[in-house]
C-alpha cells in the first residue's frame, strides 16, 4: 500500500564535518555519529529516521550529508555538536541546496 505524500514523514538534510583525524573511513564516521546520537538521545534514536547518503561524503574536504526526520533535526544537531569528533555545518530540506552551499564551494 502506497503512502500519500502528505502522510509521509518530512525530512531534513544535515551537513557534517569530521574534525578528528582518527575517523578516516565511512564506517568509522557512521559509527561515531550513531554512538554520539545514541548516548544523548537514548530510546528516541530509533525515531530520528537517520539515513546516511553513501555518495555524499567528500573525503578530500571531510564533509558529508545525512538525512533525518524534521521533528528531531534540532536535537540531532545538538547531540552531534556535543561530540568533539564531528560538528554540523548546516541544515536544509532540499538536498540540492545543501550540496551547492556546503560541498561544491569547497571543492
Q: Which residues have CB under 8 Å from 78's CB, separation 6+?
A: 40
pLDDT of 84: 86
pLDDT of 100: 92
Kindly list the domain boundaries of the chain, sorted by start residue.
11-103
Which residues are registered as beta bridge partners of 18? Answer: 86
pLDDT of 55: 87
Per-residue pLDDT band for 12 (boundaries 50, 70, 90) equals very high
pLDDT reading at 107 higher than 80: no
pLDDT reading at 105 higher than 80: no
Query: 11-103: which CATH architecture?
Result: 2-Layer Sandwich (3.30)
pLDDT of 59: 84
pLDDT reading at 106 higher than 60: no
Amino acid at each position: 500500500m502506497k503512502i500519500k505524500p502528505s502522510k509521509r514523514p518530512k525530512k531534513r538534510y544535515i551537513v557534517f564535518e569530521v574534525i578528528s583525524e582518527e575517523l578516516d573511513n565511512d564506517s568509522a564516521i557512521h559509527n561515531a555519529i550513531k554512538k554520539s546520537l545514541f548516548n544523548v538521545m537514548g530510546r528516541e534514536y530509533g525515531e530520528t529516521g537517520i539515513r546516511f547518503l553513501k555518495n555524499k561524503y567528500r573525503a578530500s574536504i571531510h564533509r558529508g550529508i545525512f538525512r533525518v526526520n524534521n521533528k528531531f533535526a534540532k536535537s540531532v544537531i545538538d547531540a552531534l555538536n556535543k561530540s568533539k569528533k564531528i560538528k554540523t555545518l548546516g541544515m536544509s530540506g532540499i538536498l540540492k541546496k545543501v550540496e551547492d552551499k556546503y560541498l561544491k564551494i569547497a571543492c
